[in-house]
Amino acid sequence: MPNYGLASTTWGPEERLAIEGVLNSGNFTMGREVSNFESDFAKYFGSKHAVMVNSGSSANLLAVAALTLKRDKPLTINMEVIVPTISWATTYYPVHQYGMTLRFVDVTKKNLNIDIDLIKNAINQRTGAIFAVNLLGQSCELAQLRKLADENGIYLIEDNCESMGASVDGKYAGTWGDLGTFSFYFSHHINTIEGGMILTDDDELKDILISIRAHGWTRGLEKNNHVFNKTGDDWDDLFRFVLPGFNVRPMEIQGALGQTQLKKFDSFLQNRKKNHMHFIERFGEMDGVQIQLGTGTSSSFGFSIVLNDNLPVKRKQIIEKLTQNGIETRPIVAGNFLSNPVINRMSVVADENNPVADWVHTSGFFLGNHHFDIREKIDQAYEVISGTILNGKTL
């Protein structure tokens, strides 16, 4: 086992009690616990609506799906959706699955998030949305993205699965877009085993999400809604299918865990921020490396490090040394996603050169952050990396 791993459990006795409470209730499928967590989550982040699903990946899928089902200005097949060159696979797949083209835009060296200036050049008559990703706890330039989307009459979706608690100008990441998605997977800021959430202030989108989360039926909707008004006859209203939907409902255990974890989130976030500040103090001035610096306040999912091209040592040597010292690492998300063979199965528009994503792909890695004090672990990683670089220079 590594002595400095990527992630650790955030559970304690409270989570076990939450699970036991659900088991004792006999109600396991989506119900009151999920609804209560949705209410708590929306209130915490200052959003009008929260809709829980079974994973962050499903949250991204439903966010795209919901925009194709809007009555006015829906996303349609053959439109383009602007996406960053660096993200996880499930940012991109829903766009492809709904028959749209992925227009890739490179990221910036400063924060490894989508480059605003390049977006401006990428917007055209076919553009339907910007699918921005707040990478590894660092926000995009969200105020500028919101303004750019509004000026061009296109949608803004935030993949905020890695940045719960980050903010810009006092407004949380995940609430700037028409839709914002979150993940509660083990390694993320809070953990409900699997699970995800979608935030929106749009009443129609909320109703669409509720319907397509569970088969596209009217069950779960208010009598008067933006999808299909109910008759008041339960025999009809419980089994009326009106939208092409999915079955991505969460379970009551996940809803109960979410409520418990959200109560602890402030302390989790403060410790992550303290660790992040210590990381910046140690690595910010290290010769030969660049760290990720976001816009606004970070929630610090992990610590990105990218090696400069002129270093005498390469990533492989540093990763080997870190591994030998029990320090776990991973690529920065999926690196340049255009380098993955699955790209050949999707409709894609991309510049021939994406220098920042390529640089990250070949020279970047990240260390884990945790919800407790790991400053000694960060010091250990610093000594290993700086020592490896120094030895390389003296060879």
- Catalytic-labelled residue, pool 188, 189, 276, 278: 188
Q: Which residues pair with 366 in a beta bridge?
A: 304, 330
Residue 188: active-site member: yes
Contact indicator for 95, 65 with CB cutoff of 8 Å? no
Contact indicator for 99, 118 with CB cutoff of 8 Å? no
Contact indicator for 46, 265 with CB cutoff of 8 Å? no
The catalytic residues are 188
